[in-house]
Amino acid sequence: MSITALKGFKDILPDEVGLWQLIEATARDIFHRFGFAEIKVPILEKTELFARSIGEATDIVEKEMYSFTDRNGESITMRPEGTAAVLRAFIEHSLHAKLPVQKLYTVGPMFRHERPQKGRLRQFHQLSCEVLGSELPRLDAEVIAMAWLLLNELGISVRLEINSLGCPQCRPRFKETLVQFLADRAGKLCDDCERRRNTNPLRVLDCKSSHCQEQYVAAPSILDHLCPECSGHFAIVKESLSALAIPFRVNSFMVRGLDYYNRTTFELVTDALGAQSAVGAGGRYDGLIEQLGGPPLPGIGFAMGMERLVLLLQQQAGDTSNGPATDLFIAALGEEAQQLAFPLLHGLRRAGLKANMDLEGRSLKSQMKQAGRADAAFTLILGEDEMSRKVAVLRDMSSREQEEIALPTELDPWCQELARRIR
């Protein structure tokens, strides 16, 4: 029996890779326009890093992490999200000493042991961005605007929902009111909510159970409990988004699944994948750097799920490929033609063309078929008749026009000239 991939782990085949590259290239371009720099961090970290940042009582840390003891007896975890590792690196290398505000992004796989479903895998990929060192509300709007622009340029339409979760000064008062509200409804909530009522009461608000949601219609709103500083901060975030003509809806039930968020949180939501789902989400985490042993610096960040972006692009009509897969296919017939074609192929590749040929020298018909399958824009035919007349036939595969060109006397200039003509 052959071996298959693990459940929830997926190969990304060549057919699909073009979309991944398009998304990554667009993201990098936009992130660089906003002054972000890439950082690459390890996939494995000490388990303690995630317990301390994401929070012990979260779904991720409680049930979803890939954690194991390594050969030295150390507890290690495959990163379930990108922020904690980037902050760990930021602190470890004192990056704040170089620039007052650091804008960092990272791209790569994350791991969570969840029930696999459409657009949700156990190994999934995220674009993850962090801005560290400033609490200015305009920065929140700038970060949201960057995520918004990326989806715009990819042609993906989403709704923006925002909320403020307050700060350590004002959230406890809200928490108290909420815990009291939930205590009054004890026994009427789902098992998860009953448990979270005491461990992590904020999380009950985004419970998926419609029965719970009916109860929560009358729940207290965090926005009525913000301190003047948080309330003023949120007001400027909203004003700044309006100044950029970015439409948003305030959703006071949005709490996010991670403990470290405070003040601004946001989600970019779509209905196009069946149930409502977030394509990207993030928020402010002002105490987190300090909590991880770093300086008391504020931060904000977001992550976007690559799998969901790919699904959304696949649903859209229109060509998202980046030009033909092959610029030029050489069809060489007979040993003499093959001998000429082999260095020619290398010369054309050095001249920058996506070039290919059939090294087995099959029949012309078979080679033309291969050129078609390779999605070649042009074919260069070297037949026996052409070779004897020292010419080759250049065929435009879409217009079917063809012309004879002289065979090279000097390889490199000839290849460069042909590459210029074709591109």
The residues that touch Zn ion, with contacts defined as CB under 5 A, are 166-167, 169-170, 190, 193, 207, 209, 212, 227, 230
Nearer to Zn ion, 77 or 264 (CB): 264
Find the shortest distance in angstroms from Cβ 61 to Zn ion: 19
Considering the complex, what minimum distance in angstroms separates the CB of residue 256 from Zn ion? 16
198 or 314: CB nearest Zn ion = 198
Closer of 77 and 163 to Zn ion (Cβ)? 163
- Rounded distance, CA 27 to CA 106, Å? 11
Segment holding 337, helix H or strand E? helix 335-350
Which residue lies nearer to Zn ion by CB, 254 or 394?
A: 254
Q: Which residues contact 47 (CB under 8 A, 6 or more apart)?
A: 65, 67, 75, 76, 77
CB atoms within 10 A of CB 293: 11
Q: In the complex, what is the shortest distance from the CB of residue 208 to Zn ion, in angstroms, rounded to a whole number?
A: 7
Q: What do you get for the CA distance between the two ends of the chain, in Å?
A: 47
By beta-carbon proximity to Zn ion, the closer residue of 170 and 382 is 170
**Residues 241, 184: contact at Cβ < 8 Å?**
no
The Cα–Cα gap between 298 and 241 comes to 20
Please identify, using beta-carbon distances, which residue of 62 and 92 lies nearer to Zn ion: 62
- Distance CA(235)–CA(127), nearest Å, equals 28
Shortest Å distance, C-beta 231 to Zn ion: 8
Q: Least separation, in Å, of the C-beta of 264 and Zn ion?
A: 12
- Closest CB 164 distance from Zn ion, rounded Å: 8
**Alpha carbons 261 and 61: distance in angstroms, whole number:** 16
What's the DSSP call for residue 155?
T
User: Quick one: 65 or 193, whose CB is closer to Zn ion?
Assistant: 193
Q: Which is nearer to Zn ion, 122 or 196 (CB)?
A: 196
Kindly report the CA angle at 244 between 243 and 249, in degrees rounded to 5? 85
- CB of residue 294 vs Zn ion: minimum separation in angstroms? 22
Structure-block tokens of residue 275: 């149930």
Measured CA to CA in angstroms, residue 392 lies from 14, 382, 388, 415, 421 at distances of: 32, 5, 10, 13, 15
Tokens of 204: 């009950």
Could you tell me the smallest distance in angstroms from the CB atom of residue 65 to Zn ion? 23
Which H or E element spans position 265?
strand 262-270
**Between 227 and 405, whose beta carbon lies closer to Zn ion?**
227
Cβ-based neighbours of 360, under 8 Å, separated by 6 or more: none
CB of 222 to Zn ion, least distance (A): 10
Place of tokens 């459940």: 7
| 390, two tokens | 């020292």
